[in-house]
Amino acid sequence: MKRIAMAQPSWDDEMRAAAMDTLDSLHWVKGPQGKAFGAEFASYCGAVQGTPCQSGSVALWGALRLLEIGPGDEVLVPSFTYIATATCVSLVGATPVFVDVESEYWCVDVDALERARTPRTKAVIGVHLFGQMCDETLVSWCEEHSIAYIEDAAQAHGAQTASGAMAGGVGDVACFSFFPSKNLAVGGEGGMMMTRRGDLASRMDALVNHGRDARLESHELGSNLRMSEVSAAIGRVQLARLEGWLARRQDIADRYELAFAGLSGVIPPKVRAHTRHAWHQYCLLADDPQMLQHTLSSANIDSRIYYATPCHRQQVYADHPQHDVVFPVTDDICHRLVAIPIHHQLSDDDVERVIQAVVRACSSS
């Protein structure tokens, strides 16, 4: 019996041809593929500019640079997220200020942001966690307090708010990752910065190219953060498939919801009304996560706990003043959220195997 993986990169003849055609062109960097990928993804997200770069982490660092955030500034971030959301702040010399997340949707809690806000607060990084977008009131809250809104959309390709806004089209700057496990990938490492602000658009392209203008003069501190043309070509093919892949993920999520709704011992994820969840991860809040994982593994099914160690408790922040602070929701869920496979390449039989394993785990608890 084959093992069902948490994720599986998509690769086919069309992607292979796109990569080979780009290699054969001998135009491997700073060419038409990167420009087209950025423009097409920006159009998809409802943004004015998309700039491909080397990774989602690079995109986060770049977003902070674009917004001129540095030493003496504070950036509000949820502690319940991948560590790059916080370390990008430290890398530009600013201070990450950690806050709790919502009890139902697990995205950053706007009330917690208000309690943490100080005169030094220059930005908030809202993480569209697991593919669910942050509360839309975050946009108006940031505008009210003249605080920049950075979308960490690394897990949210194709997510949409109740008002119809796409991930990547609501913040000052949005950051995407194209790591192979993501909903959209580029054949390796990759990321993108996105903005809906015209004043940041030209600077985004310059930032990933040593801060230079068309005359090759550097106007601000940048570096070589560019995405390769081959990766961009693969990304363009995958972008054309994204809507179909999202529909498949939603089909699987619907089957899971129906199967798990009445089970004891697990709580299926909640989705904001009238929104589209991108389902990068499907996480069950489990009473006994170790037993659930053991049952899944015995059935040859991968799973993963997200995120067992909150950002502020990790060793890199051992000297941070919030290292020992208790965040009630984060502390409650960090060891209990078990992600099960939901990627678009699962077969119906795979989905049924996952369902049966979860049901067995709950029956034996």
Cβ–Cβ under 8 Å, residues 271 and 277: yes
Beta bridge partners of 74: 95, 121
Q: Are residues 172 and 261 in the same domain?
A: no
How is residue 224 annotated by DSSP?
A: B
Q: Give the separation between CA 49 and CA 36, rounded to whole angstroms.
A: 11
- Sheet of 74-78: strand order equals 49-53, 191-195, 173-177, 148-152, 121-127, 74-78, 95-99
Q: Are residues 24 and 48 in the same domain?
A: yes
Q: Give the separation between CA 82 and CA 87, rounded to whole angstroms.
A: 10
Q: Does 207 map to a domain?
A: yes
Q: Which regions of the chain does DSSP assign to beta strands (E)?
A: 49-53, 74-78, 95-99, 121-127, 148-152, 173-177, 191-195, 266-267, 282-286, 304-306, 337-340
Give the pLDDT confidence score for residue 211 in this predicted structure: 65
Tell me the residue range of the domain where 96 lies: 13-238
Among 209, 238, 267, give the residue marking a domain's end: 238
Q: Are residues 189 and 86 in the same domain?
A: yes
Residue pLDDT tens, the chain, 365 long: 899 999 999 999 999 999 999 999 999 999 999 999 999 999 999 999 999 999 999 999 999 999 999 999 999 999 999 999 999 999 999 999 999 999 999 999 999 999 999 999 999 999 999 999 999 999 999 999 999 999 999 999 999 999 999 999 999 999 999 999 999 999 999 999 999 999 999 899 989 887 666 666 767 777 889 999 999 999 999 999 999 999 999 999 999 999 999 899 999 999 999 999 999 999 999 999 999 999 999 999 999 999 999 999 999 999 999 999 999 999 999 999 999 999 999 999 999 999 999 999 999 76
Q: Assign residue 182 the CATH number of its domain.
A: 3.40.640.10
Give the distance from CA 363 to its chain's centroid: 33
Domain count, the chain: 2
Q: Assign residue 346 the CATH number of its domain.
A: 3.90.1150.10
Q: Does 313 map to a domain?
A: yes
- DSSP line for 107-134: SBPHHHHHHH--TTEEEEEEE-GGGPPP
Q: Does 7 map to a domain?
A: no
